[in-house]
Amino acid sequence: MRKFNLLDHELIPKHEIMPEDELKSLLNEYKIGKEQLPKIKVDDPIIQEIGAQVGEVVKISRNSQTAGEAFYYRLVIM
């Protein structure tokens, strides 16, 4: 039986694990620590789908009618 891939659904925005250098730039730009980012649980189905681990930051890319493409960031927690 073939497993359904959540990332293929049209209503699920693109989720990707941020590379360390990109994360460092983001945190420097906003002058914040990683733990100040909004959180997402490690047992969230989309986090399990992309294989993110606790402590990693996930970049979410959504299409926006006003901004074109908007980015959101979530710290993966227990």
> Could you read off the pLDDT of 21-68 as tens digits, one per residue?
999 999 999 999 999 999 999 999 999 999 999 999 999 999 888 878
Q: Which residue has the higher pLDDT, 78 or 9?
A: 78
Residue 1: band (very low, low, confident or very high) from pLDDT cuts 50, 70, 90: low
Say if residue 8 is exposed, middle or buried (CB neighbours under 10 Å; 0-12, 13-18, 19+).
exposed
CA dist 62 and 14 (Å) reads 7
- Structural contact between residues 37 and 73, judged by C-beta atoms closer than 8 angstroms: yes
Q: Which residue has the higher pLDDT, 20 or 8?
A: 20
With H, G, I as helix, E, B as strand and everything else as coil, classify residue 67.
Answer: coil
β pairing state of 68-77 and 39-41: parallel
Arch. (CATH architecture) of 15-77: Alpha-Beta Complex (3.90)
Name the residue ranges covered by the structural domains of the chain: 15-77
Residue 2 has pLDDT above 60, yes or no: no
> What is the chain's length?
78
Mean pLDDT for the stretch of residues 9-21:
91
